[in-house]
Structure formats: C-alpha cells, structure tokens
Amino acid sequence: MVATLFIVSMAISGFDIAEQVEGAPPGGDAETYTIFAVGDIGLDQLPRANPGRYQYDKVAQLICDNSPDAFLMLGDGQHNDGELEDYLAYYDTCFNKLKDITYPVTGNHDYYLTDYAEGYFDYFGNPEYCDNWELVLENADAEGHPLGYYSFDIGTWHIIALNSYLTHQCELTEDLLPVEGSAAWQQYEWLKADLEAHQDGYTGTIATMHHPLYDWELYYKCEWIAWFDLATQVHLWEVFHDYDVDMVLSGHNHNYQRWTSQDPYGNYDPEGVRQFVAGTGGAYLWQFPPENPLDNVADYPYGISVETLENLKYYDGDHFGALRLVLSDTGYEYAFISVDGEMIDEGEVVCV
C-alpha cells in the first residue's frame, strides 16, 4: 500500500530531518491493534544498575505496561552466542511474560556457535517458552533444520517474519540473488508466494528481519559492510517493493533509526518501503557522534551513498526503549518510546 506521512515526528533527542506529505490521519472509530517491536535484548548477565547496559528488564516492563496485542522480537534476543541456557537464564527472566504474544526472528548472534541456531529454535520452538512455536518451526530445510520464516495476520495487516541471516550463509549470483537450492533461495521463493497470496483485503504489510538494508553505523568506514550486511538483503527488498510492503522493522544496530520511503537501491520513492531500526532492547547502545553525519558524508566512503543517507530522517542512540505501532484499517501510528516513557519520535501514516 502507498503510505502517506501525516504528522512529522516529534524530536526529543537525536537528529531529525522534517518530512511532510499531505494526508488524512488513521484511527478514528476503527478497531486498532497495538504492537511493540525491538531487538538486541539480553546479555550474559542479569539486569543491573548500569544505564548503558543490561536494561532489558525495563524494556520488557515498558512493553507489558502498554498491554500490546503482539510483540515482534527483532533478533538477537540473547547475546553473545544465543545458547539455550543463556536464553533461559537471562532473556526468559524478563520476557517470558510476553510468551503468548511473541513473534520472533533470528539474529546473527544466534548463529555464532552453530550453523543452525539450535539455542534460538530450542527456545522459541518450544511451547513452554513461546506460544507461537509452531510458526517458528513452520519452515525447514531438506535435512529438517528449522529456518524460522513465517507469516500471520493482525487485523487487516499482514506480518512477515524473515531470517535475514540465511543470506549470509549462501553464495549470491551476479544479480545478488541467492543460489538456487540454498536455504536463502527457499525463503526468497516462499516470500514471493506468500505476498502473492496476501494481496487482497489488507490495509498493509509489515516485514520483520534482524538485518536492516539501509543503515548508518559507527563502523561505516569498513569496506566489508557494503557487501556483507547490505548487499545480501537487496533481493528481499526487491520483493518488498514489487508487492507494496509498507515497512520493514529491523534490529542489529543498537540504536533507533527511521528512514523515509525508498526503493531497493536507496532512492527516495514516495511509494516505496519505510524502514525502522529498533535495536534498543536493553543489551547495550551504539551512540551516534555529536555532529550530524549528514554534514560529514565525505568521511564515509563505503556502504550506502550520500543520496541514500539523506533518507535517514531520525535517529537516536541514547535511549533504551521500543517501537510502538498502532495499526488500523486506514494506516498506522508509530512511536519510539524510551524506558522512561518519553516519546522520542512519533508520527502517523495513512495507507491508501
């Protein structure tokens, strides 16, 4: 669906570049659904009084206090190695209260010790810890290893959960497509079929996956970021764009970012896909430099282009918190809320 921004975000902290397009606000008397989304959550110690680390108990409490209809866990629920015993010792202590509404995706830390993320799937694929375990285990490779992608509906919205790490495990063709027969190719073919089957009767579509395609990171001077973290996601975004996916929610970077609508190649497109990054789930934060990076783009020769970087409309690296979406049959409201209850960034979008 075409998304039209109605209200400019309210900047409490960080950098904000204004963006306005005429439109009518969503909401009204229509039925709404509240979802929270965040990734990069648990560490290998219990929460403690450290303002820059181990705050995942506060993030869990923020989400619970708002009584959402769904919690979208955006990957790296447990650092550093995603082992089952760590999920049970740390992540579970705070987030098990959300088990009945949790819809997770895998992160790169889940694959640090194994090619198959056994700890992740042993946790979220177990009904004792996740009520949506059957979705998590729905798709598997030829040897029976779960791949972790699935879809479901919330009201008039279609939600797709993808395993973005699969693309890091396979070779890509010259067209940046996964090699036929690989797990990433299987996901790619499934994604096209799923979106084709869910075109009619929906207000919009949301995709969740751990790795964002467009990203401003502290290590952008590293040449490898372009081909390892970015190029591997292009084929997914090409499908998103072809099927009018409204937004992609990701973690991976431990900060909050809101991007304007773009095509798969980093160009502004009013009918493109909007990206949110919310890697602020309590593990630790990656702060941005005090200066606006848009004033110093020449210092970042690798990764995304200068033109694409200008599509980054708001970012914050100072607050733990979560992204809240209120979905209706006409559009959605978004807000990044800190663990202290501050509305760091908010706005409304109408889907037409």
Per-residue burial over 101-137, b = 16 or more CB atoms within 10 Å of its CB, e = otherwise: bbbbbbbbbbbeeeebbbbbbbbbbeeebbebbebbb
pLDDT at 11: 43
How do residues 33-48 score in pLDDT, each as one tens digit?
A: 999 999 999 999 999 8
Average pLDDT over residues 75-103: 97
Report in angstroms the alpha-carbon separations of 203 from 1, 200, 330, 335, 349.
7, 9, 6, 19, 12
Kindly indicate the confidence band of residue 293, based on its pLDDT and cuts at 50, 70 and 90. Answer: low
What distance in Å separates the CA atoms of residue 225 and residue 219, rounded to the nearest whole number? 8
Residue 320 reports pLDDT greater than 60: yes
> How does the average pLDDT of the chain come out, rounded?
87
Give yes or no for a contact between 352 and 332, defined as CB atoms under 8 angstroms apart: no
What CATH number matches the domain at 32-328, 3.60.21.10, 3.40.710.10, 3.30.70.3270, 3.30.360.10?
Answer: 3.60.21.10
Residue 10 reports pLDDT greater than 80: no
Residue 5 reports pLDDT greater than 80: no
What distance in Å separates the CA atoms of residue 194 and residue 145, rounded to the nearest whole number? 21
Average pLDDT over residues 194-201: 96
Give yes or no for a contact between 83 and 113, defined as CB atoms under 8 angstroms apart: yes
Kindly indicate the confidence band of residue 309, based on its pLDDT and cuts at 50, 70 and 90. Answer: confident
How do residues 119-175 score in pLDDT, each as one tens digit?
A: 999 999 999 999 999 999 999 999 999 999 999 999 999 999 999 999 888 888 888
Give yes or no for a contact between 339 and 38, defined as CB atoms under 8 angstroms apart: no
Q: Where do the domains of the chain lie?
A: 32-328
